[in-house]
Amino acid sequence: AVDEENVGNVKRQLAKIFEVSLKTTVPDETDVEPLIAACTGKFGDYQCNNAMGIWSKIKGKKTEFKGPPSVGQAIMKNLPPSEIIESCSVAGPGFVNVVLSKDWMAHSLQRMLIDGIDTWAPRLPVKRAVVDFSSPNIAKEMHVGHLRSTIIGDTLARMLEFSHVEVLRRNHVGDWGTQFGMLIEFLFEKFPNPENVNEAAIGDLQAFYKASKQKFDSDPEFKQTAQQAVVRLQGGEAKYRKAWAKICEISRTEFHRVYQRLGVHLEEKGESFYNPYIPGVLEKLNQQGLIEESEGARVIFVEGVNIPLIVVKSDGGYNYASTDLAALWYRLNEEKAEWIIYVTDVGQQQHFDMFFKAAKRAGWLPADGASYPKATHVGFGLVLGEDGKRFRTRNTEVVRLVDLLDEAKNRSKSALIERETAKDWSEEEIEKTAEAVGYGAVKYADLKNNRLTNYTFNFDQMLSDKGNTAVYLLYAHARICSIIRKSGKDIEELKRAGKIVLDHQDERALGLHLLQFSEVVEEACTNLLPNVLCEYLYNLSEIFTKKFYSNCQVVGSPEETSRLLLCEATATVMRKCFYLLGIVPVYKI
Ligand code: ARG
């Protein structure tokens, strides 16, 4: 029987079959979930690992079983007939190994080619999610940390969207707070007519921020007017609102340049958006008795942390935490999101830990942290320079992100121009490919690491065409496309009329890996780990090149049709991986 919901997800399809067997094997145990895992050994493709767990539950009771292996034997014997399974065996302490039917594998691959890879999209138990990412601060620098957040957040959003989740891509821009008093006052001083101010006039907004901060710190009179400006801004005075909007707008253009280069789409709902909700939200928490007085501030105590979460500062002002509480309330109640994901550096872990705990105390989120609605902090490590210290460029203190991306593109362009094959390319082709490769390299270098670790930013490494890099993968994909092109065959025609066979062991190995795409995306989504998908993509390329393409002649062989279809399936899955990682594929090199 075809299980529409789990098309392409071998693990889930096997789980369904094993569930039937488990019910027959131990009818009295009601809560046994099938444990299915892909296996690396040579005895099977997948294994069912339930025998030992079941044995430990039933060993005191009177049953027909003598130990885990006999439970394994029974699980195997009770499996209903299935076209998916070729054969089974029981190994060691009761593992049931499954060898997949290669006819079924071939058929599944062919169906994917005809129906499209979207039929392989995982189903997640969530309908709507917020991914809060990028989130730079107005007038302050947008630094490499924000670049990481942008890249990781975009990938997570893409993976969830692919998996049928509606994603609200939120840019939680730091556009509110006391720094605006000083920025506005400084703007008035420099430009008596702020209407006419634009980016060209202000120049570098970060320098503007620094200069105003310097004045704020050294000039008590300025400090006082700046503090009054905050009050007037928050009171909604038109002149102040306008100046604020102006500063935000200038910052925004700078952010947009980065997003445009990266092909990242975001919807801005900055801190200012949630400001009107803060008093009401805090009042609710207060009525629940959660808010206490501590050293002049209003705070919430949470378990396991010896400092409280400050929600109203001693001067009566709100802060980062009050805004985040209001934003979470809004996302849960107004936007009805079931999963709220925050992508920032690990340095903010304590903030998120404390504010999630506060939300649990308030009953907004279930206490177990596992069921929905759920809030998750996706932390990531630092970006380091080759000296092992925080990443900086040679002369400036901060790294301008646009410059960084330009450099990646220019370097990949120079390398491209030197290639013999690119000699007769149009200028546009070279530009587009240089962008795809350059930006793809920056993204992949970031995503391939476990996000929690620090990573070293190195142009030479990320732009190398050898090893685990975007360049290597993009070229591998282009090469597969060229095999298909050069065959002269109409691939659409082959999809319908041709047939995939997996008789050679390397055809089978490639087919198996392709069939694991869906469960890998599911795992990457569930654990919010893009590196899992990178690893899959790299292995796919390795299996294709080192096994399949080295040992199975494609063009001119008796198996040409089937092998061209395997090339096409590989290219299709690679392209979907690229898409999910925010990388633009290239078709020729
Ligand atoms: N603006 C913050 C920063 O630059 C990140 C905001 C993350 N999102 C949030 N809801 N706290 O560090």
CATH of the domain at 96: 3.30.1360.70
Cα(207)–Cα(217) distance, integer angstroms: 15
The confidence score (pLDDT) of residue 1 equals 40
262 alpha carbon to ligand 1 midpoint, in Å? Answer: 20
Give the tens place of pLDDT for each residue, 298-338: 999 999 999 999 999 998 999 999 999 999 999 999 999 99
User: Nearest-5° angle of CA 74, CA 80, CA 85?
Assistant: 95
**169 and 200 share a domain?**
no
Whether 156 and 277 map to the same domain: the answer is yes
CA dist list (Å): 71 to 48, 64, 82, 95, 283: 12, 9, 20, 9, 57
Return the pLDDT at 391: 83
- Which residue, by CA, sits nearest to atom 5 of ligand 1? 135
Count of structural domains, the chain: 4
Domain limit, last residue, from 188, 217, 250: 250
Residues 147 and 293 in one domain: yes
457 C-alpha vs ligand 1 centroid, how far in Å?
23
Give the torsion through C-alpha atoms of 342, 347, 349, 350, to 10 deg.
-140
pLDDT at residue 398, as a whole number: 62
Ligand 1 centroid from CA 146, angstroms: 9
Quote the domain boundaries for residue 302. 135-174+270-383
Atom of ligand 1 at shortest distance to CA of 174?
A: 1
- Number of the ligand 1 atom closest to the C-alpha atom of 327: 10
Q: Name all residues whose Cβ lies below 6 A of ligand 1.
A: 132, 135-137, 172, 174, 324, 327, 342, 344
Q: How far is the CA of 210 from the centre of ligand 1 (A)?
A: 20
Ligand 1 pocket test, candidate residues 130, 131, 135, most atoms within 8 A of CB? 135
* 499 lies in some domain: yes
Contacts of 149 (CB under 8 A, 6+ apart): 133, 134, 135, 343, 344, 345, 380
**What pLDDT, in 10s, does the model give residues 257-308?**
999 999 999 999 999 999 999 999 999 999 999 999 999 999 999 999 999 9
Closest CA to ligand 1's atom 8: 172
Shared-domain flag, residues 245 and 298: no
**Could you tell me which residues are beta bridge partners of residue 85?**
100
Q: Is residue 105 part of a domain?
A: no
Q: Could you identify the atom of ligand 1 that is nearest to the CA of residue 140?
A: 4
Res 397: pLDDT: 60
Is residue 185 located within the same domain as residue 217? yes
CB 161 within 8 A of CB 167: yes
pLDDT attached to residue 389: 85
Same domain, 360 and 457: no
Does residue 589 fall inside a structural domain? no
Which of 56, 74, 100 lies at the terminal end of a domain, its last residue? 100
- 174 alpha carbon – ligand 1 mean position (Å): 7
Distance 206 CA to ligand 1 centre (A): 18
Domain of residue 543, CATH code: 1.10.730.10
Both 539 and 514 in one domain: the answer is yes
Boundary of a domain, candidates 250, 278, 302 = 250
449 located within any domain: yes
Q: Report the b/e string of 560-571 with b at 16+ CB within 10 A.
A: bbbbbbbbbbbb
Could you tell me if 333 and 464 lie in one domain? no
CA of 324 to the centre of ligand 1 (A): 9
Secondary structure element (H or E) that encloses residue 85, with its range: strand 85-91
Say whether both 567 and 521 belong to one domain. Answer: yes
The reply to whether 122 falls in a domain is no
What local confidence, expressed as pLDDT, does residue 2 receive?
A: 47
Same domain (yes/no): 439, 568: yes
Q: Are 541 and 472 in contact (CB under 8 A)?
A: yes
Q: Does the residue 586 lie in any domain?
A: no
Q: Examine residue 197 and state whether it is found in any structural domain, yes or no.
A: yes
Q: Is 585 inside a domain boundary?
A: no
Q: In this predicted complex, what is the ipTM?
A: 0.99
Looking at residue 65, what is its pLDDT? 92
Which residue ranges in the chain fall short of pLDDT 70? 1-4, 393-398
How confident is the model over 188-233, as pLDDT tens digits? 998 888 777 877 777 778 788 889 999 999 999 999 999 999 999 9
Instruction: Assess whether 286 and 351 both reside in one domain.
Output: yes
| Residue owning the nearest CA to atom 11 of ligand 1 | 324
Same structural domain, 340 and 376: yes
